[in-house]
Amino acid sequence: MKIEILSLIPGVFADVFDESILGAAKRSGLIDITIHNFRDFGEGRHKTVDDAPFGGGPGMLLKPGPLVSAIRNLRDSGPIAPVIGLTPQGVPLTQNMAKELACHERLILVCGRYEGFDERILPAFDVQISIGDYVLTGGEFAAMVIVDAVSRMIPGTVGCEASVKEDSFYDGALDHPQFTRPATWEKSSVPSVLLDGHHAKIIAWRRGEALARTAAKRPDHFRRLPLSQDDRGLLQTAFCPQSESNEIRRKIKV
Ligand SMILES: C[S@@+](CC[C@H](N)C(=O)[O-])C[C@H]1O[C@@H](n2cnc3c(N)ncnc32)[C@H](O)[C@@H]1O
């Protein structure tokens, strides 16, 4: 996948994609990331890209001319690609969105700065994405989050693909509890089912715990989970201290 990022401060991305899993994915050619400085499309001698808002108010806004020229230039320079505008007013990023974006051959991510985009820039975006209900100083960290979340959905990026599928949100539920050595630490012991080597029992225990903790921690996701008859049985035996709300009790019929 080719990922192109439009930013006013490309230096922020130095090395960030070169380490660990993303670095390996780059080296093996699974992802190819290019950062473009849209100041190259700025106006006049000073390459201006921003100006004060009409009507007054604090800060500066990104002007439509330079940024839209940069977007058009990129659109025309390679395979068809969704142009993603990064803004706190966009659709909140989800795992399903990351999966969907990972199917594209190419992505273009546009990082805002200052007070954000002149409204007339917005039609140049195919989609506007937010990484959460808070405001960052610029879209660069949002772009990094999207690149990371999308890249690990590309087959081959993460060594063990089964682990990706067990991660939180992949199928809607949170990940199950995990333990490593030692089996007992500070009087706290690993659940015995994990030590017995009975594969089917381990799978069932993990599914029950994953469902129970989703009910407890993320009832919004739990409500949308399709539960099988087996799931309902597992939930009744799983440790689920906070799943006392009537709605959840009704769903698992406890
Ligand atoms: C200071 S913000 C502008 C916020 C804008 N005035 C508003 O309230 O909607 C500057 C830039 O940071 C980026 N940004 C800030 N928060 C973000 C978020 N939660 N998700 C994605 N991008 C964000 C956007 O590119 C935005 O244009």
In the chain, pLDDT over 70 holds for what percent of residues? 94
At 203-239, the pLDDT tens digits run: 999 999 999 999 999 999 999 999 999 999 999 888 5
The 10 Å Cβ neighbour count of residue 63 is 18
Ligand 1 centroid, distance to 130 Cα (angstroms):
8
Q: What distance in angstroms lies between residue 41's CA and the mean position of ligand 1's atoms?
A: 21
* Residue 176: closest CA among 190, 187, 189, 186: 190
Report the C-alpha gap between 72 and 8 in whole angstroms.
17
| pLDDT higher than threshold 90 for residue 46 | yes
Q: Catalogue all structural domains in the chain, each as residue range(s) with its CATH number.
A: 2-151 (3.40.1280.10), 184-252 (1.10.1270.20)
3-state helix, strand, coil in the chain (%, to 5): 40, 15, 45
pLDDT on residue 243: 46
The pLDDT-based confidence of 92 (bands split at 50, 70, 90) is very high
Q: What is the mean pLDDT of residues 153-158?
A: 94
The residue-averaged pLDDT of 29-34 equals 98
> For residue 111, which atom of ligand 1 is closest to its CA?
25
Residue 47 — very low, low, confident or very high, per pLDDT cuts 50/70/90?
A: very high
Closest CA to 207 of 166, 248, 244, 170: 166
pLDDT at 245 over 90: no
Cβ of 21 less than 6 Å from ligand 1: no
Least confident of 150-159, 161-170, 218-227: 161-170
Asked if 207 is an active-site residue, the reply is no
User: Among residues 220, 232, 31, 223, which one has the least CA distance to residue 144?
Assistant: 31
Among 130-134, 174-178, 243-247, name the one with the lowest average pLDDT: 243-247
Q: Is 177 in the pocket of ligand 1 (CB under 6 A)?
A: no
pLDDT at 236: 86
> Model pTM?
0.94
C-beta 42 within 6 A of ligand 1: no
Given a cut of 60, whether residue 240 has pLDDT beyond it is: no
In the chain, which ranges are continuous DSSP H helix? 20-27, 64-75, 95-101, 140-151, 161-166, 199-217, 219-222, 229-237, 246-252
Q: What is the pLDDT of residue 252?
A: 65
d(CA 63, CA 38): 11
148: which strand partners? none
Mean of pLDDT values over 19-41: 97
Q: Which ligand 1 atom sits closest to the C-alpha of 131?
A: 20
Mean pLDDT, the chain, integer: 94
Residue with CA nearest ligand 1 atom 6: 115
How many angstroms separate the alpha carbon of residue 108 from the centre of ligand 1? 17
Which residues make beta-bridge pairs with 237?
A: none
Centre of ligand 1 from the C-alpha of residue 143, in Å: 11
Q: Decide if 167 is catalytic.
A: yes
Pocket flag, ligand 1, residue 87 (CB < 6 Å): yes
**Mean pLDDT computed over 174-184:** 97
Q: Which of 100, 166, 167, 175 is catalytic?
A: 167
